[in-house]
Structure 1
Amino acid sequence: MKILFIGGTGNISTSVSKLCIERGFELYLLNRGLTNNKIEGAKTITADINNFSQVDEALKNFYWDAVVNWIAFTPEHIERDLKLFKNKTKQYIFISSASIYQKPPLNPVITESTPLKNPYWDYSRNKIACEERLNKAYREEDFPITIVRPSHTYSNVIPVPIGGWTEYTIVDRIKKGEKIIVHGDGTSLWTLTHADDFALGFIGLIGNYKTIGHAFHITSDEVLTWDQIHFLLAEAVGKEPNIIHIPSDFIVKCEPSLTGSLLGDKTWNAIFDNSKIKKFCPDFVARIPFREGIKKTIQWFEEKPERKIIRKETNDMIDRIIQCYNK
């Protein structure tokens, strides 16, 4: 199969790209040629996806078995892609987000039919709008969509809401015995998925034309509390975490920039029913527990000193929130 990834070298997509090559797909990556993350075996098309005429010219002689856009975030991006790929692909896979599911949830278990509503986060509302436009194109223009909603997926990022992701700040605080914040009382339930596991489910959707018109989430079946997540992170560096529990609504009053990712996502329980992806892709099973996966992540950060980014601004924010709460 001839596959085009728009992006393809990010936190989630790198694992999928590598698996595509392993499975013998003819994979093309469309990007600006600025990334240092090279996928061995993939072909590169150098163009800026936000420059329509440039991309249209670069792709004019191609017809695709599947196109996957890893970096579409707004309805404007979707309108562009509809113009670029109408009658040019057998399948268009849109990477949405599980954060679009109903917040606060009215049912503890999330399925693909859970209502889409997020009053807290513009990011999620834009993803919902993208899905609505694509579904309209499917119904009215027969545009061949498949929608995928990743939840909290990690590989070379630290998947905690305060002091992590591309930073090493929270790990540095844990190593030093400094206080770290866990939102709420630490008992809300959450699902973390390693990108290598996500890739196993995703690969079964590419070129699977029975999935046209459908939406899927792909997550681990392992459910952890946020306390467990932070204890396992600390375990990976051989330390005990010094946790202070602070309510999410208090945190966002002190630091409004966290409103989307906390109140719009991680404050609430997230337990996923993966029956649908397993029905369409029977080989899918998540194999990497967080205890194992986070050790791989920490190892990646510590392989190169420049990856261990410790931000003074983040430390100051954490200390400020703790001081306010203690008062």
Structure 2
Amino acid sequence: MKVLVLGGTGVISRSIVEAALAKQYEVAVFNRGSKNHLFSGEVECITGDKSNREQFRELMKDRRFDAVIDMISFDAADAQATLEALHGRAGQFVFCSSTAAYKRPFRTIPTAEDAEELFDDPSFAYAFQKAEMERYLGGMIKLGEVPVTIIRPSLTYGIGCANLGVLRQNFNIVHRIRSRKPLLMFGDGTVPWSFSFAPDVAKAFVGAVGNSNMYGKSYHATNEDVHIWQDLYLEFGKLLGVEPNIVHISTDLLVQASPALFSHLYYEKSYSGLFDNSKLKRDLPGYQADISLSAGLSMLLDWYERDGHQVDTEKDLLEDRLTGLYTEFGKQLKLLSI
């Protein structure tokens, strides 16, 4: 089986490459070429910039693949470029979308794929553009010209991730817990959530390759263990042997403080993050996301320790200021009650 991964160096796509190599697939990756040393096995590396449509078409014109896994399409135009460049030269296309592409609030919890509508508010560009991509792909699926499968991961962590925590502060979480510094949590921290890890999600993408049961359909690929958002910090605390000092600030106030940094909380993470995987399990028998929150965070902690990560001082100072404002506000409220 010859598979092309568009991307290949991101958190999920690296795991996809490794999972495909484990199945002894012949794997090629297309990306800008900055991190192709990451792979454990032999991988063909095609270097280019997909946003340069003409260059991309030229690089693909003499190549053929059994399947293309597209991890770097973020809107309809990106997806169209993939289909046009590889039309007639790929037996199947697997596109990475996101559970962010759903309209909120949900109609179902845990969320079922075929019961929900796609996001329609351009104010949150990432979700809206992913939804636009899916609308385009839905039209292509109806035409029936090429097998297309859509996979929707939820928030996914893994080696190399840069999206961990409320501020996406990553290693700073470990630093602040060890330093007994307060950690910021949005709202009361009790939004239900399932925390997914890249090797589990990769199994869905690789399992879709050559699987005719999955043609023309969309699927979740998430962990199904039920947690709340605060568990992310509490579990890190258990691993470090230090109880975290968690400060709660309303999502609305956080968005006012930094729309660019906190809009994802307002539009996406203030709603349940529990997703039904029964459709994927039906069409990909044996699929199970079995990396627990504790095991996944332990993997990340080992990575931090091994690679010697540095504190993001800008985010550390921002978290100091926000939690300091909260503490000062609490003092003022106590004075009012005297």
Same fold (TM over 0.5): yes
- Which sits farther off after the overlay, 54-63 or 269-278? 54-63
Deviation string, structure 1 residues 160-186 (Cα, Å, up to 9, x no partner): 433446x31122111100010111111
Equivalent of 2:166, from 162, 167, 174? 162
How many pairs align?
A: 324
Name the CA distance, whole Å, in 2 between partners of 1:160 and 1:44.
29
Q: CA deviation at 1:242?
A: 0.5
User: In the alignment, is the contact (CA less than 8 A) between 2:167 and 2:262 conserved in 1?
Assistant: no
Instruction: Could you tell me which runs of 5 or more consecutive residues in structure 2 were left unpaired when the two chains were aligned.
Output: 330-338
User: In the alignment, is the contact (CA less than 8 A) between 2:148 and 2:215 conserved in 1?
Assistant: yes
Residue number in structure 2 paired with 1:224: 227
Residue number in structure 1 paired with 2:119: 117
Name the CA distance, whole Å, in 1 between partners of 2:284 and 2:241.
38
User: In the alignment, is the contact (CA less than 8 A) between 1:122 and 1:260 conserved in 2?
Assistant: no
What secondary structure sits across from 1:203 in the alignment? helix
Runs of 4+ in 1 over 6 A off after TM superposition: none
Deviation string, structure 1 residues 59-90 (Cα, Å, up to 9, x no partner): 22212111111111122212211220222211
Letter in 2 for 1:80: A
User: In the alignment, is the contact (CA less than 8 A) between 1:121 and 1:259 conserved in 2?
Assistant: no
Residue number in structure 1 paired with 2:86: 85
1:175 equivalent to 2:165? Answer no
Residue number in structure 2 paired with 1:72: 73
- Percent of matched pairs sharing the same residue: 30
Residue number in structure 2 paired with 1:42: 43
Equivalent of 1:194, from 171, 194, 197? 197
Q: CA deviation at 1:48?
A: 2.0
User: In the alignment, is the contact (CA less than 8 A) between 2:153 and 2:221 conserved in 1?
Assistant: yes
Name the CA distance, whole Å, in 2 between partners of 1:83 and 1:16.
23
Distance 1:169 1:101, change over 3 A: same
Distance 1:192 1:41, change over 3 A: same
Name the CA distance, whole Å, in 2 between partners of 1:124 and 1:227.
24
1:4 equivalent to 2:4? Answer yes
Q: CA deviation at 1:36?
A: 5.2
Letter in 2 for 1:304: D
Q: How does 1:233-272 map to 2 (within 5 A)?
A: 233-272=236-275
Q: How does 1:204-215 map to 2 (within 5 A)?
A: 204-215=207-218
Distance 1:36 1:78, change over 3 A: closer
Equivalent of 1:295, from 298, 301, 320? 298
| TM-score after normalising by structure 1 | 0.93
| TM-score after normalising by structure 2 | 0.90
Q: Cα RMSD between the aligned structures?
A: 1.8
User: In the alignment, is the contact (CA less than 8 A) between 1:223 and 1:271 conserved in 2?
Assistant: yes
Q: CA deviation at 1:248?
A: 1.1
Letter in 1 for 2:131: I
Residue number in structure 2 paired with 1:277: 280
Name the CA distance, whole Å, in 2 between partners of 1:163 and 1:260.
11
User: In the alignment, is the contact (CA less than 8 A) between 2:61 and 2:86 conserved in 1?
Assistant: no
Letter in 1 for 2:196: T
Name the CA distance, whole Å, in 2 between partners of 1:81 and 1:36.
21
User: In the alignment, is the contact (CA less than 8 A) between 1:154 and 1:194 conserved in 2?
Assistant: yes
Residue number in structure 1 paired with 2:101: 100
Distance 1:33 1:91, change over 3 A: same
